[in-house]
Structure 1
């Protein structure tokens, strides 16, 4: 815990959040999960929230993927809805859809369809499972 407390007495939890206009705090991500793309930070939770608004997507998770040029790039794991229209959706179409809605450094560079996003009993995405899956390739 000594490393978590800075010289001004602030305790650093590793959470990323903000305070709204009414003074409420919102935790939106973890600093350890941030993707560093060419020195810029990309929050996986932001991309996941956007992906979940796509009409063909049932569930999604975003993790970092090593990249020689950029350092790290966002990779999305996507579960499509079971209807026929959704099943016909391509990864390229989803990445293009996201690219139209985010800054260039936040674009998803890789996408993989999977049957189910690994989650804990409490529903938290098990990013380590997806990162390990990526590293094993």
Structure 2
């Protein structure tokens, strides 16, 4: 559970919305630290092959999709474009690995919502 200003946000809820977007092949969501809110949702997205050549534009469209569907406190702060989502042999998302990826310097494209204001 991601805690945004004390309000619980289920990663699965955002993942289901994101999987409904035509650019998304696979996705996982975890919380990242935020000064004002405690945590904010961050999505790790595997784009469909036809969108891989325009990752920034695809990420912006994904931000807008979430904004249309969810309340402000559930909006994504960042989208990281990845080649694969870390999963266990049973197919469960390894959220610990996602948090490590979020704080490491890697070569993935990270798109931040520049219009995002950390106020609810």
> Hey, what does 2:3 align to over in structure 1?
36
User: 1:47 matched to which residue of 2?
Assistant: 14
**Deviations 1:17-57 (CA, angstroms, capped at 9, x unpaired):** xxxxxxxxxxxxxxxxx111011110000000110000010
CA contact (8 A) 2:43 2:80 kept: yes
- What are the superposed Cα offsets for residues 94-113 of structure 1, whole Å, 9 maximum, x if unpaired? 11111110011111111110
1:7-26 correspondence to structure 2 within 5 Å: none
Distance in 2, Cα, partners of 1:78 & 1:134 = 12
> Secondary structure at 1:48's aligned position in 2?
helix
Match among 59, 66, 70 for residue 91 of structure 1: 59
Query: Could you tell me the TM-score, scaled by structure 2's length?
Result: 0.80
1 or 2 for the larger relative contact order (CA 8 Å, sep ≥6)?
2
- TM-score, normalised to structure 1, is 0.71
Deviation at 1:136, TM superposition (A): 3.0
Q: What is aligned with 2:91?
A: 123
SS of 2:69's equivalent in the other structure is: coil
Q: Distance in 2 between matches of 1:113 and 1:50?
A: 17
Q: In the alignment, which residue of structure 2 is the partner of 1:106?
A: 74
- Runs of 4+ more than 4 Å apart: none
RMSD of aligned Cα (Å) = 1.1
Alignment check: 8 A CA contact 2:23 2:58 kept: no
Distance 1:61 1:94 in 2: 13
Unaligned residue ranges in structure 1 (runs of 5+): 1-33
Paired residue for 1:8?
none
User: 1:57 pairs with 13, 24, 30, which one?
Assistant: 24
Match among 25, 28, 35 for residue 68 of structure 1: 35
Structure ID, larger Rg: 1
